[in-house]
């Protein structure tokens, strides 16, 4: 069959060791996008054979996160499919069968070496290379020792000469000297497969023909290819993705906070913005567009756009993107999403949330900024007079001191306490005083908020605060001079 005609099958194969890390989510996203782009299938497989690292509930969390993020898998543990089981431990009886086939072919062998013997092997740069001690045991001896109940493992028999190579879709030709390949354990003494073995068997049995994963597997892939070759199976295509870094030197790790999807959601980022940003961690479209809807991502994604160089996780950029997504939300939706944050603020229950939302929608980059931004509504006290100084707004301390008593007097006479009326009143006052509008509006805003920046101008804030509170604050600030 022509390779091009084959339907692409990609997979995301997380180990259920906790929350979905950003790196994992990116693997899932790219695998999803590539499958969709090519009319293929995206599969979820849970790799749970390392029993010690399992974290309860994490399979459910992984599935929930993928669905929440819109990365619907075509086959997986809960949705089933024709290539099951989708949980590695459920395939556990198969691995030994396949390992025995390799033993028959001479591509693997039983090893009985004790821990003491392995520890006594020469240490080369911190690693002990197994010396193939058990490779030449006779079949009879192997059978007798197994029957005697001696503990054993099965190791891969690596060639000792020549070079193994393959072409990665991102990194190009990868070649490793065979003498550097360790005779990895394929089946552990408890009968369970190692990752090194299980990933190949699973991928083959599940019809995976496109393996997408992090660069940590780039140089062990030749070992996996030797297994495919030994079985006479067709090798999959490989796409390795660049590491995600916290900065030029350090990989992004769980300790950096914001390392999982849940962390980012909790930090007030919208899922659309998270997915958009994660797509850019190691990939860019030909037209270098940055803000892309999920549909656009599906349309624009290509393997050619994946970069070789490490991607740096830049939260400022995520914030910026998130701000754009927040601005675009339908107003009602924004009110709904912002409400829990209003509830957490000092202004909880005291103001009209729709009015607050109107002020905030264009002014926050993350929902978590909301409480801080509106706390001035309930928090007011002495502030630095230098806040009045602003060249662009033609304001300084002296002009503020001159203007504010007049603002107070004028506002005291306003009956209809509404932003547009208040605004008109202050503009007229500025005209009367022969001053620029800003020379009146800027100090008023400072005087009633005590803050350098606020969501909204003087009269928007005044409307929210109400007449009584606005005048009280003006009196307080005038006395402060
Ligand atoms: N379970 C492996 C991991 O979480 C999967 C690697 C792969 O994609 O083959 O790193």
**Ligand 1 near 15 CB (within 6 A):** yes
Residue 280: is it exposed, middle or buried by C-beta count within 10 angstroms (0-12/13-18/19+)? buried
Q: Which ligand 1 atom lies nearest to the CA of residue 47?
A: 1
Distance (angstroms) between ligand 1 centre and the Cα of 240 equals: 12
Backbone angles phi, psi at 93, to 5 degrees: -75, -15
Count how many Cα atoms sit within 13 Å of the Cα of residue 346 in the half-sphere of its side chain: 9
Q: Which ligand 1 atom lies nearest to the CA of residue 12?
A: 8
User: What pLDDT does 441 receive?
Assistant: 98
472, containing H or E segment: helix 467-480
**Ligand 1 near 58 CB (within 6 A):** no
> Other CB atoms closer than 10 Å to residue 250's CB: what's the count?
11
Catalytic, 3? Answer: no
* Residue whose CA lies nearest to ligand 1 atom number 10: 14
pTM across the whole model:
0.89
Tell me the best of 45, 217, 240 to mutate to test the pocket of ligand 1, counting ligand atoms within 8 Å of each CB and taking the most: 217
Distance (angstroms) between ligand 1 centre and the Cα of 43 equals: 13
**Tokens 């092997």 found at:** 121
323-339 residue pLDDT tens: 999 999 999 999 999 99
User: Is residue 344 within 8 Å of residue 372, measured between CB atoms?
Assistant: no
Distance (angstroms) between ligand 1 centre and the Cα of 161 equals: 29
**Ligand 1 near 14 CB (within 6 A):** yes
Pick from 342, 323, 359, 337: nearest CA to 454: 359
Following DSSP, what letter does each residue of 256-291 receive, concatenated?
GSS-BHHHHHHTT--HHHHHHHHHTSSB--TT----
**Ligand 1 near 221 CB (within 6 A):** no
End-to-end CA distance of the chain: 86
Tell me the best of 32, 195, 197 to mutate to test the pocket of ligand 1, counting ligand atoms within 8 Å of each CB and taking the most: 195
Rg of the chain in Å (alpha carbons):
32
User: What pLDDT does 235 receive?
Assistant: 98
**Ligand 1 near 26 CB (within 6 A):** no
Distance (angstroms) between ligand 1 centre and the Cα of 27 equals: 9
Tell me the C-alpha distance between 410 and 403, whole Å. 11
H-helix segments, 389-457: 397-412, 419-433, 437-449
239-297 residue pLDDT tens: 999 999 988 888 887 677 658 899 999 998 999 999 999 999 999 999 999 999 999 99
Distance (angstroms) between ligand 1 centre and the Cα of 63 equals: 16
User: Is residue 11 within 8 Å of residue 34, measured between CB atoms?
Assistant: no
Tell me the C-alpha distance between 287 and 305, whole Å. 10
Mention every residue, 6+ apart, whose C-beta is less than 8 A from residue 244.
22, 23, 26, 251, 252, 281, 282, 310, 311, 312, 313
| 130-138: long-range contacts, CB 8 A cutoff, minimum separation 24 | 130/155, 130/182, 130/183, 132/157, 132/183, 134/109, 134/110, 135/109, 135/183, 137/109, 137/110, 137/112
**Ligand 1 near 13 CB (within 6 A):** yes
User: What pLDDT does 258 receive?
Assistant: 58
* Residue whose CA lies nearest to ligand 1 atom number 5: 13
pLDDT tens for each residue of the chain, 481 residues long: 444 568 999 999 999 988 888 999 999 999 999 999 999 999 999 998 877 777 778 999 999 999 999 999 999 999 999 999 999 989 988 999 999 999 999 999 999 999 999 999 998 877 788 999 999 999 999 999 999 999 999 999 999 999 999 999 999 999 999 999 999 999 999 999 999 999 999 999 999 999 999 999 999 999 999 999 999 999 999 999 999 998 888 888 767 765 889 999 999 899 999 999 999 999 999 999 999 999 999 999 999 999 999 999 999 999 999 999 999 999 999 999 999 999 999 999 999 999 999 999 999 999 999 999 999 999 999 999 999 999 998 999 999 999 999 999 999 999 999 999 999 999 999 999 999 999 999 999 999 999 999 999 999 999 999 999 999 999 999 999 9
Q: C-alpha dihedral over 460, 465, 468, 469, to 10 degrees? A: -120
**Ligand 1 near 194 CB (within 6 A):** no
Distance (angstroms) between ligand 1 centre and the Cα of 150 equals: 32
Point out the catalytic residue in the list 105, 139, 177, 254.
254
Q: Which ligand 1 atom lies nearest to the CA of residue 27?
A: 8
Distance (angstroms) between ligand 1 centre and the Cα of 358 equals: 45
Read off the tokens for 265: 């959601």
Read off the tokens for 46: 């849970």
Tell me the C-alpha distance between 269 and 31, whole Å. 23
> 55-79 burial string, b = 16+ CB within 10 Å, else e?
eeebbebbbebbeebebebbbbbee
């Amino acid at each position: 069959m022509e390779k091009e005609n084959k339907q692409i099958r990609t997979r995301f194969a997380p180990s259920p060791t906790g929350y979905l890390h950003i790196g994992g989510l990116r693997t899932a996203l790219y695998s999803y996008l590539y499958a969709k782009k090519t009319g293929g299938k995206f599969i979820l497989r849970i790799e749970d054979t390392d029993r010690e690292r399992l974290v309860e509930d994490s399979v459910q969390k992984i599935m929930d996160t993928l669905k929440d993020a819109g990365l619907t898998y075509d086959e997986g543990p809960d949705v089933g499919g024709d290539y099951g089981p989708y949980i590695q431990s459920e395939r556990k009886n198969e691995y030994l069968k396949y390992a025995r086939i390799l033993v028959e072919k001479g591509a693997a062998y039983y090893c009985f070496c004790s821990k003491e013997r392995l520890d006594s092997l020469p240490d080369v740069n911190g690693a002990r290379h197994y010396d193939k001690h058990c490779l030449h045991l006779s079949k009879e001896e192997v059978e007798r020792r197994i029957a005697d109940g001696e503990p054993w493992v099965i190791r891969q028999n690596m060639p000792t000469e020549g070079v193994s190579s393959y072409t990665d879709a991102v990194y190009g030709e990868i070649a490793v000297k065979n003498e550097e390949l360790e005779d990895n354990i394929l089946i552990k003494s408890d009968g369970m497969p190692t990752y090194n073995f299980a990933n190949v068997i699973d991928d083959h049995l599940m019809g995976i023909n496109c393996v997408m994963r992090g660069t940590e597997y780039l140089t062990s892939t030749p070992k996996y290819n030797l297994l495919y070759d030994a079985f006479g199976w067709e090798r999959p295509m490989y796409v390795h993705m660049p590491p995600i870094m916290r900065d030029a030197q350090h990989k992004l790790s769980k300790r950096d906070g914001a390392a999982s999807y849940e962390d980012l959601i909790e930090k007030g980022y919208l899922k659309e913005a998270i997915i958009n940003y994660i797509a850019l961690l190691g990939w860019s479209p030909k037209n270098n567009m940055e803000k892309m809807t999920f549909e656009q991502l599906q349309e624009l994604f290509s393997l050619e756009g994946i970069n070789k160089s490490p991607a740096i996780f830049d939260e400022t950029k995520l914030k910026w993107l998130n701000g754009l997504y927040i601005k675009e939300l339908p107003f009602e939706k924004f009110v709904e999403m912002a409400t829990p944050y209003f509830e957490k603020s000092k202004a909880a229950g005291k103001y009209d949330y729709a009015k607050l939302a109107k002020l905030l929608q264009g002014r926050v980059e993350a929902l978590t900024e909301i409480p801080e931004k509106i706390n001035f509504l309930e928090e007011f006290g002495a502030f630095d007079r230098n806040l009045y100084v602003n060249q662009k707004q033609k304001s300084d301390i002296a002009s503020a001191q001159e203007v504010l008593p007049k603002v107070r007097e004028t506002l005291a006479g306003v009956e209809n306490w509404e932003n547009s009326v208040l605004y008109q009143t202050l503009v007229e006052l500025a005209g009367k005083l022969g001053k620029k509008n800003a020379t009146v509006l800027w100090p008023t805003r400072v005087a009633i908020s005590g803050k350098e920046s606020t969501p909204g101008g003087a009269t928007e804030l005044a409307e929210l605060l109400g007449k009584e509170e606005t005048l009280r604050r003006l009196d307080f600030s005038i006395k402060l001079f």
